[in-house]
Structure 1
Amino acid sequence: GVSIRLPFEQGANPVIAGDEKSVSMKYFFTRKLMLVKESRAFVCLPGGFGTLDEMFELLTLTQTGKGLPAPIVLLDMPGDDYWSTIQSFVTEQLIPRGLVSEADTSLYLLTDSCDEAQAEITGFYANYDSIRYVGDQAVIRLNHTPTDAQLDDLNERFGYVVSTGRIDRVEPFPEERRNDDRIGLPRIGFMFAQHRYGDLRAMINVLNSYASG
């Protein structure tokens, strides 16, 4: 757990309080750095300016490729409209003005169901393992080797995220082999048009759907 030292805020939550893995930070930027660096999934609950700051920075990092793809859940209480009100602002103000793309809404899931939140997090790693960039090439490491039919499906649905060539199976690159970086996993590679991170997130959803048949 990573908390922030403030005179008017509560301490660590009871789940992590007193644990040696609980760390208290003096500065917001170091807290956010550690949260993003060490986490493989994010659940955002209703909160004040600090919560909104963290949530929007997380989305910005993911949208711009400065952060790695990860499941991001905006979790409301049942019947509450905290996050759905934020979503309305995105769809009614930001998207029509061209400030974000409609595809960027693929970066997160908005729900008031804990079961849906859990399914989003566990399902994200059903097939997807990790991503690495080698030059302009995006290399997605998977748990299952894609079939020819699945590759054709990916190219038909997401060919527009490829700057040249097509999405295809690839062997580990020398840069990956030098670091022994997930070299035992199957992978796909493509020349990524690096402004379509919302579409990349949608592609990961499709890759994960292949794992369920």
Structure 2
Amino acid sequence: MTVARVIARSVADVVEQFELDGDVVVTIERLGSVMRQIGVGDDPRRLAYELQRSGWFGQLRTRHAWEFLPGARGGAYGSGDRFIEFRAQRAIRSEWPGVLAMESAASVLGLAQRIPEQEVMALPDDAVFPKALGGEWRRVHVELVDATARGRCREDHRVAGADEGGSAAAHRLLAEGRWRFRGCAASRGRLFPEKHSVVRTTATGRALRLANERERYRPP
């Protein structure tokens, strides 16, 4: 069902710019940058409130970030993206070290039969877990001991081979709570630029091989 939304003249150029750029998450800094670019006012907080009230911004739990609701959706409807708050965290702080892990990483790589009930992210021990992700996400710790060597993965004190084709042991590593990697390369930052440009995952064995193959053969 299509629901009409009003585009006030004062915000039309801003909405148009977000449409052209394909923004998914808009931060207060990004909004201010667009306003300066097109010469529309100097109060991004006020404009953000106006865009949210008129149905162009969707509210997020992450502070100073909103989901842009493009006109193609036919109304003020969210995308239903299960990683939207994760994306917002990365948009707010580009240096934030959170990465997808375990069941969440497996589902993105097509290795899981169902979407996890609770998303999983890996964070260093000294990183603060964002309050905006509480309840829907849980954290694990991943230590990359040697990201350049190849061969075997070590989980705590047990050694399990992540062999060709994705062994049961390798898949078990995707389902355990705390990993210690030895001789396993981490996946590269942008796995699926066309759909998941902010999603980074930590993968082993078959998961890593699939990720590399998808990047290598991704059409231009």
Q: TM-score, normalised on structure 2?
A: 0.28
- Of structures 1 and 2, the one with the larger relative CO (CA 8 A, separation 6+) is 1
More helix by share: 1
Q: TM-score, normalised on structure 1?
A: 0.29
